[in-house]
Structure 1
C-alpha cells in the first residue's frame, strides 16, 4: 500500500463527516424497513440488525453485540438468530441496495444521482477504500468482500459504507483502550451535544433509564461527568483524544487517496449531504441533547 501525500490536519475526519450521512441515511429512511417488511421482517430493530450485519452472514447476537458495540445485547438477542429463519443475508443485501437506490433518488433527485459528479465521487471514494485494511476490522472486512454495484450512486453508497465501517471498527479500538463500555460511550457522546439525543439513543439502542443512570454514576466516579451529567474537563479531553485516536487509525484511506482527491471528495460529498439533509434525511427529533 502506497500513501501519496501528507494530509492537512483532520482532512480525513472532515471527509468522513460529509460521506457518512449518505451511508447512514438509508437506515433512517422509510424505504429500508419497507423493503425488509416485504421479506417478512416487520420490526425496525430487527431490520437494522440484519441490514447492517448481513455482510457477515447469518451471525448470532454475540457477533452483532461485539461489532455494533453500543447496542444492548438483550435487544439484539430478542431478534437474532430468529430473524435469520425469516430472511437470508443475500436477500437482505439485495433489499438494502434497493432501499439505497430509492432513498438516494428521493433525497437527491434523479439528476444528481445520474450526474457526472456522482460518478466522480464514486470513483474517488472507491479509490480511497483501497487504502483501508482488513485486520481487526470485521464490519469493514465483511463489506469489502461484497461486489461493487454497477450504478455510480450505488457504488458511491457502497464505498461510503466501506469508509464508515472502517472508521467505526477503529473507533471501537479507541473506546476499548479508553475503558468505555458501549453504554458509557453513548452517554459521553450524547453529553457532547452531538449526534442522537439521549432519549433517541436509549430507545433505539435498547437501554433502560436505570441502566443509563447507572452508567452516568460510573462516569461520575471516574471524574468524566459532573453531577448534572455534563462532561467535565477530563471527560471533554477524553472525547477529544478518542476522536484523534480514531483519526490516526483511520488515516489509511485518506492518505492513499491524497490531499487533492480528499479535498475534491469532501467538496462533492458536502453538496450531496447538504441536499440530503435539506430533504429531511434524518428525523429532527432524534438529535441534540433533549
Structure 2
C-alpha cells in the first residue's frame, strides 16, 4: 500500500495547498482581524487542538524554529476564538477550490463521490499517536461536497504529517535538519538558501549544517552523502508506509473509484499552482 499512499498524497496535496497559496483563505482570515499571514496560519491550523500553549503547537508542527510559534500563539487567539479562525480557513479554502474547479467540476458527481470516499477513509482510521489528525477528526465534517473534500483531504494530510514526524523523530532528524534534507532532495544548493531555513540566524543555521556533516549526512560542500540520501529515502518510505492505513479501509474497487474521481480534480487544481 505504500505506492497507494504516495499516489494519494500526489492527488490530494494540490487540493490542500489552496489553503496556503490562494487568496480566499488569507482574505477570510484577514477579515477576522488577523494582522499577518502567519497569525492566520498558526491560529487556524492549530485551532483543532484548542487553546493549547505555544509549546504544544511547536511540538505538534515540529518543523518551525524555536520561538516562531510563540510569536503568534496564543496572541492570535486573544480576540479571535480558535473556532472562528478554523471556520474562516475552511470557508476560504472551499471558495478557492470552487473557483479553480469551475461550476461544472465543482458540482460534478465525481467530486461528490471523491468527497464521500476521502471522508470514509479518514473517519475510519485510528487516531492513536496522531495528534494533528485527531484534532481534525474531532471537528464536524461539512455537508457541502466541496468543503467536505477539502476537510477530508486536510484530515488525511495531517494524518500523513503526523506519521512523517514520527519517521523524522525515529531517524533523529530535527525540524530544521528535515528542511535541509528536503532542499537537497529538491536540488536546491546551497541548502541554506531554502526559504524554510534561510531566515534562521546564521549561527543557528551553521550549527544545523555542522550537525549534519558530523553525522556523515552532508559533505563539506553541502551536498548529500550516500548516507544522507539513503536516510532521506528511508524517511520517505516509512512516511508512505505510515500513511497507508486510511486507504486500507477502502475496498480495491472503492480505491480505484476514488483515484479515478480525484484525477481530473487534482489535475485542474495543480495546473493553477493551487492558486
TM range (shorter): over 0.9
Question: C-alpha separation between the residues in 2 aligned to 1:220 and 1:42?
Answer: 39
Contact 2:48/2:135 (8 A) holds in 1: yes
Aligned mate of 1:244, from 237, 251, 254: 237
Shift of 1:102: 1.4
Partner SS for 1:73: coil
Aligned mate of 2:214, from 203, 218, 221: 221
Contact 2:164/2:239 (8 A) holds in 1: yes
> Residue 208 and residue 262 in structure 1: after superposition, are their counterparts in 2 closer, same or farther (change >3 A)?
farther
Shift of 1:177: 0.6
> Residue 75 and residue 145 in structure 1: after superposition, are their counterparts in 2 closer, same or farther (change >3 A)?
same
1:98 aligns with 2:91: yes
Aligned mate of 1:148, from 118, 141, 163: 141
Shift of 1:121: 0.3
Shift of 1:25: 1.9
Map 1:195-274 to 2 at 5 A. Answer: 198-202=193-197, 207-274=200-267
Contact 1:224/1:232 (8 A) holds in 2: yes
Instruction: Name the counterpart of 1:32.
Output: 25
Cα RMSD after superposing both structures: 1.9
Contact 1:61/1:73 (8 A) holds in 2: no
TM-score (norm 2): 0.92
Partner SS for 2:194: helix
Contact 1:62/1:73 (8 A) holds in 2: no
Give the number of equivalent residue pairs.
Answer: 272
Map 1:167-206 to 2 at 5 A. Answer: 167-193=160-186, 198-202=193-197
Aligned mate of 2:59, from 60, 66, 73: 66
Question: C-alpha separation between the residues in 2 aligned to 1:207 and 1:107?
Answer: 35
Shift of 1:194: 7.2
Contact 1:131/1:257 (8 A) holds in 2: no
Residue ranges of structure 2 left out of the alignment (5+ in a row): none
